[in-house]
């Protein structure tokens, strides 16, 4: 009977027969692409995972970066990141750099296929990188790749020949990327979701609609199944995927939401298997005896901070910026206002990322209202007298960030006597004014792109001309440190340089660091397989390998 059952299931999902001792199971059940399910897994036809996301405008993530959020698992990059944010093989099975640090060679899997069965070659990657740097593509994230040889010149129109970009195919299975200078973090750049491969033949045939149902060709363990605009989309296992990151789930379903979302009701009704919690939800959830047991907290590598227009009064005076930093009680913000969905920040790089300095420089910006008042008086504004009324801008903020901003407004009033008006602005209006240096004071967040300090320090805080970068803050010592660290091949020396850069940034108050995000979410008890990272957390992200680790257990 057991043999008959096994063979029957093999017709649908497959079955691995084993020689076993009496009393042991006679078979292992495998899913539709040959991956053995864990012993406690539900049958393959119940391996369905559902979650909420905003409807993408397109799945062409290398061009519409932010508008494809939540779907990053559809494409496998050359290099992927695991639960520890360590690099692991993706489309490239191995890679190495030259002795001068300016050439990286990626060796591709020879059996790689696209989801339509076509062989995947190094030429596909050459096309991908040329396309995302082509100025006609409209890629707003092209600057992210300026370390690649001639990338900046091509993207900004100084060179018109796309073939001059330093990405080439040595043969069908060997990709070479040359950089302008030594670039020890180049593999991290290839791991970023915007580095997703693009099928040239589909783009040439369908243009911007190449990611629509019936047109979409991908290369990961999953491929697009359906896209019902306004309702949901779904993905299924890709039978042509031969790589190391093969999923358990037979089907993934993304249910669309608009506005601030439907709250926890879809989760409580078992319509979705996970739900990201907002600080506003926490009081009710913690008080619920069932839901409270389903909360998971993991550090999420993002930092919220306040920035200023430092080239004009009153924030051109570092004493004013320091006064603001010392007037904010981050513990109250984190535990009371935001209900432990964040943790206090005193520097830029968050926990679990390389370069995190912990409490090493905490005293530089820690809450000290007396010191804050002393500094403000020294700057010529005793008890806030003579200080101009200032607008504090937010970028289309979620309710929890608005609550934090209002709390900060109150702290600056009570501790320094400052009059601050909170203004929540539409995203494009905010961004345009930020890059053009028209915002006097603002609260904004930054989520890491890749786990190297060159991202959260160099990319965000290195001085840039107006129209480029985020902020006008300039500090020559900081720039020198991050420039030197970016090309340093000795990892210990790099670490020391970035450590010093963090101190300079905090001490000169390029930003007032407020809090680091936590990923706080509800997860159904039957969602299993999430690996523990080296810090004891259980992160689940759609852009790392953790999404393919999960399965649905019997329940």
3-state secondary structure string, 74-114? HCCCCEEECCCCCEEECCEEEEEECCCCCEEEEEECCCCEC
Q: What is the pLDDT of residue 23?
A: 58
Report, as an integer, the average pLDDT of 463-492: 94
Count the residues in the chain: 555
Coil/strand/helix, residue 505: helix
Report, as an integer, the average pLDDT of 469-489: 96
Report, as an integer, the average pLDDT of 442-470: 92
- Band of residue 477 on the pLDDT scale cut at 50, 70, 90: very high
pLDDT of 5 above 90: no
Query: In degrees, to the nearest 5, what angle opens at C-alpha 109 toward C-alphas 120 and 200?
Result: 15
**Between 23 and 483, the higher pLDDT residue:** 483
pLDDT of 132 above 90: yes
The pair phi, psi for residue 17, each rounded to 5°, is -80, 145
pLDDT tens by residue, 249-299: 999 999 999 887 888 999 999 999 999 998 988 989 999 999 999 999 999
Cα(502)–Cα(347) distance, integer angstroms: 7
Whether 97 contacts 182, CB under 8 Å: no
Tokens coding 306: 């306040």
pLDDT of 222 above 60: yes
Indicate if the alpha-carbon torsion angle 252, 257, 260, 263 is positive or negative.
negative
pLDDT of 3 above 50: no
- Band of residue 488 on the pLDDT scale cut at 50, 70, 90: very high
pTM for the predicted model, two decimal places: 0.90
Cα(417)–Cα(322) distance, integer angstroms: 15
Report, as an integer, the average pLDDT of 48-70: 90
Tokens coding 516: 């680091």
Q: What is the pLDDT of residue 468?
A: 78
The pair phi, psi for residue 200, each rounded to 5°, is -55, -45
pLDDT tens by residue, 371-393: 999 999 999 999 999 999 999 99
Tokens coding 229: 């605009």
pLDDT of 7 above 60: no
Report, as an integer, the average pLDDT of 136-143: 86
Computed over every residue of the chain, the mean pLDDT equals: 93
Q: What is the pLDDT of residue 529?
A: 97
Whether 51 contacts 523, CB under 8 Å: no
- Band of residue 16 on the pLDDT scale cut at 50, 70, 90: very low
Q: What is the pLDDT of residue 260?
A: 75
Q: What is the pLDDT of residue 455?
A: 95
Q: For each of the domains in the chain, give its residue range(s) and CATH number, in order of start.
A: 2-43 (no CATH), 75-206 (3.90.76.10), 208-297+521-552 (3.40.190.10), 299-518 (3.10.105.10)
The pair phi, psi for residue 486, each rounded to 5°, is -65, -25
Cα(233)–Cα(249) distance, integer angstroms: 15
Tokens coding 268: 């409580």
Whether 366 contacts 464, CB under 8 Å: no
The pair phi, psi for residue 274, each rounded to 5°, is -150, 155
% of residues, the chain, pLDDT over 90: 86
- Band of residue 456 on the pLDDT scale cut at 50, 70, 90: very high
User: Smallest Cα–Cα separation from 219: which of 128, 314, 94, 102?
Assistant: 128
Report, as an integer, the average pLDDT of 124-133: 97
- Band of residue 515 on the pLDDT scale cut at 50, 70, 90: very high
Tokens 């409490």 appear where?
359
pLDDT of 174 above 90: yes
Tokens coding 137: 């593509």
- Work out the number of other CB atoms within 10 angstroms of the CB of residue 259: 6
The pair phi, psi for residue 390, each rounded to 5°, is -125, 140
Cα(525)–Cα(555) distance, integer angstroms: 8
- Work out the number of other CB atoms within 10 angstroms of the CB of residue 24: 8
Q: What is the pLDDT of residue 67?
A: 81
Q: In angstroms, how far is CA 351 from the centroid of its own chain?
A: 14
Lowest mean pLDDT among 294-298, 319-323, 414-418, 466-470: 466-470
Q: What is the pLDDT of residue 9?
A: 40
- Band of residue 21 on the pLDDT scale cut at 50, 70, 90: low
Cα(248)–Cα(253) distance, integer angstroms: 14
Q: What is the pLDDT of residue 4?
A: 35
Lowest mean pLDDT among 26-30, 68-72, 181-185, 261-265: 26-30
pLDDT of 342 above 80: yes
pLDDT of 6 above 90: no
- Please give the full DSSP string across 270-337, using - where no structure is assigned: TS-SEEEPPGGGHHHHHT-TTGGGGEEEEEEEEEEEEEE-TTSTTTTSHHHHHHHHHT--HHHIIIII
Lowest mean pLDDT among 4-13, 426-435, 537-546: 4-13
pLDDT tens by residue, 75-121: 999 999 999 999 999 999 999 999 999 999 999 999 999 999 999 99
The number of C-alpha atoms within 13 Å of 516 and in the hemisphere containing its C-beta is 20
Cα(180)–Cα(183) distance, integer angstroms: 8
Q: In angstroms, how far is CA 505 from the centroid of its own chain?
A: 23
Q: What is the pLDDT of residue 25?
A: 56
């Amino acid at each position: 009977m057991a043999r008959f059952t096994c063979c029957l299931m093999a017709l649908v999902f497959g079955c691995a027969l084993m020689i076993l001792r009496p009393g042991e199971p006679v078979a292992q059940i495998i899913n539709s692409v040959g991956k053995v399910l864990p012993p406690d897994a539900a049958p393959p036809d119940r391996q369905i995972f559902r979650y909420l996301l905003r409807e993408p405008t397109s799945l062409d993530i290398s061009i519409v970066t932010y508008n494809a959020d939540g779907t990053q698992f559809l494409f496998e990059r050359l290099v992927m990141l695991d639960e520890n944010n360590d690099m692991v093989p993706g489309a490239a099975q191995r890679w190495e750099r030259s002795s001068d640090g300016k050439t990286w060679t990626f060796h591709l899997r020879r059996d790689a296929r696209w989801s339509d069965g076509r062989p995947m070659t190094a030429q596909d990657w050459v096309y991908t990188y040329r396309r995302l740097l082509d100025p006609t593509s409209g890629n707003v994230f092209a600057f992210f790749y300026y370390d690649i040889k001639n990338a900046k010149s091509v993207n900004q129109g100084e060179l018109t020949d796309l073939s001059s970009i330093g990405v080439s195919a040595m043969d069908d299975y060997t990709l070479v990327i040359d950089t302008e200078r030594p670039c020890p973090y180049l593999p991290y750049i290839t791991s970023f979701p915007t580095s997703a491969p693009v099928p040239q033949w589909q783009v040439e045939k369908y243009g911007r609609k190449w990611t629509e149902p019936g047109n979409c060709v991908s290369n990961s363990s999953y491929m697009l199944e359906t896209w019902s605009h306004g309702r949901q989309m779904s993905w299924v296992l890709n039978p042509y995927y031969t790589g190391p990151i093969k999923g358990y789930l037979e089907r993934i379903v993304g249910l669309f939401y608009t506005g601030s979302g439907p709250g926890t009701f879809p989760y409580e009704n078992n319509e979705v298997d996970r739900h990201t919690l907002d600080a506003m939800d926490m009081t009710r959830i913690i008080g619920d005896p069932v839901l409270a047991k389903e909360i998971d907290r993991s550090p999420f590598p993002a930092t919220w901070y306040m920035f200023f227009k430092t080239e004009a009064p009153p924030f051109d005076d570092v004493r004013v910026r320091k006064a603001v930093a010392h007037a904010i009680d981050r513990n109250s913000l984190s535990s009371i206002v935001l209900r432990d969905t964040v943790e206090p920040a005193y520097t830029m790089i968050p926990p679990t990322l390389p370069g995190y300095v912990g409490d090493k420089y905490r005293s530089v910006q820690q809450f000290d209202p007396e010191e804050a008042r002393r500094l403000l008086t020294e700057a010529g504004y005793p008890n806030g007298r003579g200080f101009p009324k200032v607008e504090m801008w937010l970028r289309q903020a979620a309710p929890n960030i608005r609550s934090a901003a209002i709390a900060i407004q109150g702290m600056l009033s009570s501790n320094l006597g400052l009059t601050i008006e909170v203004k929540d602005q539409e995203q494009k209006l905010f961004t345009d004014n930020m890059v053009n240096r028209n915002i006097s004071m603002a609260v904004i967040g930054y989520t890491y792109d890749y786990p190297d300090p060159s991202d959260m320090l160099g990319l965000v805080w290195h001085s840039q001309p107006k129209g480029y970068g985020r902020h006008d803050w300039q500090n020559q010592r900081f720039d020198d440190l991050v420039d030197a660290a970016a090309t340093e091949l000795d990892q210990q020396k790099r670490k020391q340089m970035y450590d010093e850069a963090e101190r300079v940034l905090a001490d000169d108050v390029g930003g007032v660091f407020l809090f680091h995000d936590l990923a706080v979410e509800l997860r159904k008890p039957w969602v299993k397989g999430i690996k523990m990272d080296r810090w004891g957390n259980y992160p689940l992200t759609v852009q790392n390998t953790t999404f393919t680790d999960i399965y649905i257990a019997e329940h």
